[in-house]
Amino acid sequence: MGSKIFKLVGLSAIISSLASAYAAVPVEGGLGFQPPATELAQEVHDFHNLLLWIIGFITLFVTVLLIWVMVRYNRRANPVPKTFSHNTPIEIAWTVIPVLILAVIAFRSFPLLFKQEEIPNVAESEIVDVKTYGRQWYWSYIYGSGDDEIYFDSNMIQDAELQPGQVAKLSVNNPMVVPAGKYIRLSVTASDVIHAWTIPAFAVKVDAVPGRLNQIWFKVDEPGVFYGQCSELCGINHAFMPIEVRVLPQDQYETWLERVSESTAAGNEYLQTVQPLAAQVASAE
């Protein structure tokens, strides 16, 4: 029993230190969102917290009203009921107040929706283009075009092949790599059925639809490793096509881009030297 608890504590210590070193690993028993890695995610979380207050207050208010009515106006406490059927001030209040609450929610939510969709108007030098295909059941990533095009597939690591530091059902063999501090413009489509590309820590989610090109953007300022999963039921292995994004400082990203243009293995080898997952776990232990 004692050693079991000790193991659990040790495991959660590793996981939580992993989570602090790298922004987006789900933790066992975790409540709430993964830490936000983009400005957009921070704003989405703030909006969520505001909604929680509003919902909480309304639920409490309605519960108190119900209890009050049950106690004060049951047949025993109030044997002779009043017979009026209208009360104009109350009817105005229960129309206007919900409208105001909905207006406050709309005032916060619509700008966020547009912000998710609209790529900021910045210089092209600040933008990095990446394309991705959702496929049954993995993701493909494409950098550049024409002769300089880099293409690789990104498959989940099977449980039996997990290396120290890799996360079950979330780590992939060839992760997507992007530079920190740049606007990543992601073009998303699919080659068979509908998938959805998402990273919760970025507050980004976009459908990958065959024959159609969707775009989304994100900007992560701090290097780290971020995980997501296909979010559109796409067949038997839907749960096994995760997304892993490695955010590197600009200079390391450029070196990775050079290496990966030689071969995917060379790119991964370099990635291991600058952002090794295993070392993080070893130091946590």
- Report the interface residues with Cu ion, using CB under 5 A: 195, 230, 234, 238
Which of 229, 252 has the CB closer to Cu ion?
229
Strand order in the sheet with 176-179: 176-179, 242-248, 224-229
Which of 188, 230 has the CB closer to Cu ion?
230
Q: How far is CA 86 from the centre of its chain?
A: 48
Which of 176, 248 has the CB closer to Cu ion?
176
- The DSSP H or E segment spanning 208 is strand 204-208
Least distance to Cu ion, CB of residue 132, Å: 13
**81 phi and psi angles, rounded to 5 deg:** -70, 150
Which of 137, 202 has the CB closer to Cu ion?
137
Least distance to Cu ion, CB of residue 203, Å: 19
Least distance to Cu ion, CB of residue 239, Å: 8
Least distance to Cu ion, CB of residue 34, Å: 20
Q: Give the list of residues 6+ apart from residue 171 with CB closer than 8 angstroms, or none.
A: 156, 157, 162, 227, 242, 244, 277
Which of 66, 239 has the CB closer to Cu ion?
239
Looking at this protein, which amino acid is placed at residue 220?
A: V
Q: DSSP code of 23?
A: S
Least distance to Cu ion, CB of residue 242, Å: 10
In angstroms, the CA 142 to CA 125 distance is 18
